[in-house]
Chain A
């Protein structure tokens, strides 16, 4: 009898961590075979750029979910961040970046403090955050009637520039990913995030600063949602007010498809990125196929999502109980 991990267990773990990548690979191959217009640089960079906004938010969400929580406010913070960035751009590049980060960061911080200090369920606290952030956004824009335009060229360039044909948002995503991955995997803070997600009481008894870790996690999520919103505003050159409704569900889907368990304590960032790309590719393929009515497209997306999680689940099922 071996006391080490069996190969099957290991394959299971591997698949859970990288299953999204495998599915992504399969879809890309299928897409390439089926459509000539799929594997073109233009199409791929479009997918990458479009997915990067979701990916940045999903990175923050990964921290939250690994810590055993959830953040429903990110969709609202995304649109609020965009509006604030566009509004701030009239005072210069710095303001355009600082304002959304400050406000969305504050939102995340307050949510984190409430969750950590009162023990209220993250779902409900961030649901309130979702409403409050959207309410704030509406009141800033005259009930959504005013769209602030990005006045600052430098700031707009951050969203629109594309050195080597690849948009800056993609670079930002990669940078955020790199930093986040180091924090999550290689620092004490990251270990603490896993620990409180795995067993909060035990973590507290092991000396993990539970409250502080939670607060930081929601702060990070708020900051990244704000950053993503600001980047998007730069890309669109305006603070569009009708964005982000239901975005939190897409983000959660990306994270979960990426192999992070909603129960907390397990998961990682590469999967999240693959999950975000997967959603983008699915959408792209549905469009490539064309001919589907809008209603049918939704049926297909839903079925796709279900299929991905089922396949994922079966392949990652562990050998041992």
Chain B
């Protein structure tokens, strides 16, 4: 009787984000001049890449019923560290930046897993402190001319920007981790029922720690990419409010904040949806007030469609 309707609902729950992206694409194809150009899609993908990368880490953290507010500040820290170590060449600088991100992640993870501080507070403390640290290390924006770093930000391989390739590769890696590895299975179990996971002998603390380290490292990678795109290290404004964008992408993509589930491709689509929306509003030259209200509506609609029914 009600079966077909139920089927449709389930479909929407699963693929609502994809449908929304499709609708936006159609709208733009019809009403936005110069939208259907290769360059345009490249621009959108390049802009969304750092958000996607941060959101991947965020999705893992959210899968464990946590949250990581410090990601934006980690991006800034990554920018500072790059500027600091660029003298040794691009590779060591990037390495140090990612290491710094992982360290911040470890601090988050330690607070959450070992001290037992609630994730939102622990990472809030680091959100504040790490942004400050980024500024202490590098008091102001600093341009660079390092050819390798500039190339990472602006070159393409086989017509696809390196930044986008990085995002695709990391998405594949995270999807693999979530779907195929022991760690991936364990992390959603920890998010689904921590006590049960502990009693089943899972190394709950280590899993939590690792998840935050991954999130920090991914945020740092996003910081590297954003910095190389900007051709300057900007510890003040890089990654501001990134945590909200990333969380939005994750949740719009269908991963519940209550943990126990991670949707990797959904997360990517969530980020793409928000990017396309932003682009649409900018291209149609709508004022900021409109942009914000439209985002509110889209977020609600997307999450409403994908919500778990009871």
Contact = CB atoms under 8 A, between A and B. Distances in A.
Asked if A and B form a direct contact in the complex, defined as CB atoms under 8 angstroms apart, the reply is yes
Interface string B112-130: 0001111011101111111
B109 to A, nearest CB: 13
A121 B124 contact: no
Contact of B121 (A114, A119, A262, A296): A262
B256 A298 contact: no
A292 to B, nearest CB: 10
A302 B289 contact: no
Interface residues of A, number: 48
Interface in B212-234: none
B121 A124 contact: no
B290 A139 contact: yes
B125 A313 contact: no
B293 interface: yes
Interface in B293-309: 293-297, 299-300, 303-304, 307-309
Contacts of A138: 287-289, 292
A143 B285 CA distance: 13
B123 to A, nearest CB: 10
Nearest to B126: A302
Interface stretch (B10-18, B23-31, B132-140, B166-174): B132-140
Interface in B48-93: 69
B286 to A, nearest CB: 11
Contact of B290 (A120, A135, A144, A301): A135
**Which of A124, A313, A317 counts the most chain B CB atoms within 10 A?**
A124
Nearest to A257: B121
B120 A136 contact: no
Contacts of A136: 289, 293
Contacts of A256: 118, 120-121
B289 A139 contact: yes
Given A118-B304, A131-B292, A305 B299 contact: no
B248 interface: yes
A298 B299 contact: no
A129 B288 contact: no
Contacts of B132: 295-302
A102 B127 CA distance: 34
Interface in A111-139: 114, 118-121, 123-125, 127-132, 134-139
Q: Is the contact region of chain B dominated by helix, strand, or loop, or is it mixed? A: helix
A293 interface: yes
A183 interface: no
B310 interface: yes
A263 interface: yes
Contacts of B261: none
B128 A301 contact: yes
B281 to A, nearest CB: 11
Interface size class of B (residues with CB under 8 A): 35 or more
Given A123-B251, A139-B287, A310-B111, A298 B131 contact: yes
Given A134-B292, A310-B115, A124 B251 contact: yes
B100 interface: no
B248 to A, nearest CB: 7
A119 B308 contact: yes
A189 B288 CA distance: 40
Interface string B127-156: 111111111100100000000000000000
The residue in A136, A252, A305 that gathers the most chain B C-beta atoms within 10 A of its C-beta is A305
A153 B221 CA distance: 54
Contact of A313 (B116, B130, B287, B291): B116
B257 A294 contact: no
B177 interface: no
Interface string A284-297: 00000000011111
A165 B290 CA distance: 43
Nearest to B235: A295
Interface of B: 69, 111, 115-118, 120-122, 124-136, 139, 244, 247-248, 251, 256-258, 287-297, 299-300, 303-304, 307-310
9 contacts: A124-B303, A132-B297, A252-B124, A253-B124, A263-B118, A295-B139, A301-B132, A310-B115, A313-B117
Q: Nearest 8 pairs between A and B by C-beta?
A: A302-B129, A298-B132, A295-B135, A135-B292, A138-B289, A135-B293, A139-B289, A132-B296
